[in-house]
Amino acid sequence: MTREKITLFDTTLRDGQQTPGIDFSVEDKISIAAMLDDFGLDYVEGGYPGANPTDTAFFAKKRTHRARFTAFGMTKRAGVSASNDPGLNQLLQSASDAICLVAKSWDYHVKVALGCTNEENLDAIHDSVKAVVEAGKEALVDCEHFFDGYKANAAYAVACAKTAYEAGARWVVLCDTNGGTQPPEIRAIVSALIEAGVPGTSLGIHAHNDTGQAVANSLAAVEAGVRQIQGTLNGIGERCGNADLTTIIPTLALKDTYADRFETAIDPEKLVELTRLSHAFDELLNRSPNHQAPYVGASAFATKAGIHASALLKDPKTYEHVEPASVGNFRKVMVSDQGGKANFINELKRRGIAVAKDDPKLDRLIEIVKEREATGYAYEGADGSFELLAHRTLGTVPEFFAVESFRVMVERRFDSNGRLKTVSEAVVKMVIDGETVMSVAEGDGPVNALDIALRKDLGKFQREIEDLELADFKVRILNGGTSAITRVLIESTDASGARWWTVGVSENIIDASFQALMDAIIYKLMKNRQLAGQIAAE
């Protein structure tokens, strides 16, 4: 059976740039355009040449090899011809293959925002599309507020879309600009427009996520006949974002209801890079990935629940809607107070630790984890500490060194220049191979001082921990008041690129940090001896 193509249009670099807190440099745009192009998107909309120096510089040359490199901008203004409109001319002169013109299609906006007549707006759409086509570029028209416009004045919204189509626009894109439209309305309005003479093969959908329906609305539009979807990586975009392409792409590819009828330009070999693409993009944005993102989130195929884990290990289909590997993600069976033997056996096996189901030490380990979690520990997020606890309970952990005592001091005082300064100092007394070592260090804060002092002189182990780095530090207060319990999570890394999290819990934040720091160092020494961190490929 032949399948119809759904064209994928990415607006990460244009609508995504309108996300509060996101601001791309030219260099960022070049890298992201290359990622999108390589992944196989049909169109990459790069921004608005002429609107700001970044976008103008970005459009000085073509930035994609395969994808249509698309510039975005307004239709010409009323009262000037297309050839005399400076904004439109900057678009025409950009190094783009295609131009996506934003056009008003709600008569209320024509009156209030543009301040021109309905006819003048239709002329602006017509003349601007013609100018794009005459410049040898492909024309697309984003009909802004199409659905709200249709509800207010259906005849005028349809006239805008038809004018664009008849003037030669390859795609007329229906925008749910305010993001409030619901899937049944999208279906009905798209069907009415197709009925009125604009074919679905020339229609696109651009949905915003203000009611959490951007993906559902995009798919509803496809069901009603549109054949282009606009969206962004990880759903970034104005206000609540746009339709998330990292959800739409696998849904079209992996769900029979769509996959039987439609295809996209994304190869299955590329689909397995989806999780990496999504995370690489977050990395570039310098933000943590959303763990609960469909398909690509770290929790998308994770389970804590013992009942689920037990069935998953018998057959993954019991609790997975698609195979995690199909989108480059992983199954995770986590250990926590919600887990049973199956969770623990699976996680221990993954870490190279064999244990029989009826081994009483396994029951003891589960008991300890459950007891500790009741007091504030969270092992699902502290893989390093879990592994050490497992080794300690099921076998042994060498005693590399012992900390006899530590002291941390925070002092606020005037320095020699008369400036007020807060100084943190730590003293740690350790026994290594029967020898007592005392280290003193100053740090940016008390935990930093303690960390430096702990790692300052580990005697014969010192060289082994030189590449150990503290990558992240998270503090969580588990209940309110001055006697609150504090949980500290520390992420460590070393030259091998491995990362591990360790946990500490105490009424005292320094003590909680000390526990997590100690686990981080011991894990590293175990790892150097291949006694820990031997994770099996998933």
Looking at beta carbons only, is 74 or 505 nearer to ligand ACO?
Answer: 74
Residue 508: name its binding partner from ligand PYR, ligand ACO, none (Cβ under 5 to 8 Å by kind).
none
70 binds ligand PYR (CB under 6 A): no
Looking at beta carbons only, is 147 or 401 nearer to ligand PYR?
Answer: 147
Of 10, 15, 282, 451, which one interacts with ligand PYR (CB under 6 A)? 15
d(CA 450, CA 405): 12
47 φψ region: left (φ > 0), alpha (ψ -120 to 50), beta (else): left
Residues 211-240 that bind ligand ACO (CB under 6 A): 238
Residue 373: name its binding partner from ligand ACO, ligand PYR, none (Cβ under 5 to 8 Å by kind).
none
The strand order across the sheet containing 469-477 reads 469-477, 486-493, 499-506
Residues 87-106 that bind ligand PYR (CB under 6 A): 102
- Name residues whose C-beta falls within 8 Å of residue 379's C-beta, 6 or more positions apart in sequence: 335, 336, 369, 372, 373, 385, 386, 389, 503
Of 114, 152, 188, 259, which one interacts with ligand ACO (CB under 6 A)? 114
d(CA 19, CA 240): 8
Q: How far is the CB of 59 from ligand ACO (least distance, A)?
A: 13
Residue written as tokens 């990622």?
A: 35
309 binds ligand ACO (CB under 6 A): no
- Name residues whose C-beta falls within 8 Å of residue 152's C-beta, 6 or more positions apart in sequence: 106, 107, 108
d(CA 60, CA 93): 9
Q: How far is the CB of 384 from ligand PYR (least distance, A)?
A: 45
- Name residues whose C-beta falls within 8 Å of residue 136's C-beta, 6 or more positions apart in sequence: none
Alpha helices in 168-240 (DSSP H): 183-195, 214-224
125 binds ligand PYR (CB under 6 A): no
Looking at beta carbons only, is 233 or 452 nearer to ligand PYR?
Answer: 233
Q: How far is the CB of 144 from ligand PYR (least distance, A)?
A: 4
Q: How far is the CB of 209 from ligand ACO (least distance, A)?
A: 14
Of 177, 202, 232, 346, which one interacts with ligand ACO (CB under 6 A)? 177
d(CA 66, CA 10): 13
Q: How far is the CB of 208 from ligand ACO (least distance, A)?
A: 9
Residue 114: name its binding partner from ligand PYR, ligand ACO, none (Cβ under 5 to 8 Å by kind).
ligand ACO
Of 177, 424, 506, 515, which one interacts with ligand PYR (CB under 6 A)? 177
| Binding track over 383-412 against ligand PYR, x by CB under 6 A | ------------------------------
d(CA 35, CA 205): 23
Q: How far is the CB of 344 from ligand ACO (least distance, A)?
A: 50
Instruction: Provide the β-strand partners of residue 242.
Output: 208
Helix (H, G, I), strand (E, B) or coil at 131: helix
- Name residues whose C-beta falls within 8 Å of residue 504's C-beta, 6 or more positions apart in sequence: 487, 488, 490, 511, 512, 513, 514, 515, 516, 517, 518, 519
Distance of CA 199 to the CA centre of its chain: 35
Give contact residues for ligand ACO (rule: CB under 6 A): 18, 48, 51-52, 74-75, 77, 102-104, 113-114, 144, 177, 238
Give contact residues for ligand PYR (rule: CB under 6 A): 15, 102, 142, 144, 175, 177, 206, 208
